[in-house]
């Protein structure tokens, strides 16, 4: 354990940031899951709404530095790819 006050503060800050980052990552996973459920249900209005919501959450996480910008682009790309597959299958 840290003995210096500034090091102790860093430990406290790291814990807080880790909790917040995990919360945001969980929101991303949940949002992607809801998008996939909308695709499986073939709900066209729901798909568009979920896609918009999911990309917003992913972009916000990338801008805050929770996930890397390339990881955000990869996640969004995979969402759009799934949407494209559904549209061509119809």
pLDDT at 15 > cutoff 70: yes
Kindly state the helix (H) or strand (E) to which residue 1 belongs, with its residue range.
none
The C-alpha atoms of residue 30 and residue 25 are separated, in whole angstroms, by: 9
Quick one: tokens of 5?
A: 């006050």
Q: pLDDT tens-digit profile of 21-63?
A: 999 999 999 999 999 999 998 888 889 999 999 999 999 999 9
If you classify domain 5-89 with CATH, what class do you get?
A: mainly alpha
The C-alpha atoms of residue 71 and residue 49 are separated, in whole angstroms, by: 22
pLDDT of residue 2: 81
Phi–psi pair at 3, nearest 5 degrees: -105, -30
Calculate the average pLDDT of the chain.
94
pLDDT of residue 45: 85
Residue 65 Rama label (left phi>0; alpha psi -120 to 50; beta): left
């Amino acid at each position: 354990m840290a003995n210096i006050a500034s090091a102790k503060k860093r430990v406290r800050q790291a814990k807080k940031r880790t909790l917040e980052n995990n919360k945001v990552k969980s929101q991303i996973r949940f949002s992607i899951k809801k998008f996939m459920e909308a695709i499986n249900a073939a709900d066209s209005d729901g798909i568009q709404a979920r896609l918009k919501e999911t990309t917003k959450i992913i972009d916000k996480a990338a801008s805050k530095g929770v996930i890397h910008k390339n990881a955000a682009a990869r996640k969004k790309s995979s969402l759009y790819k799934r949407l494209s597959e559904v549209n061509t299958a119809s």
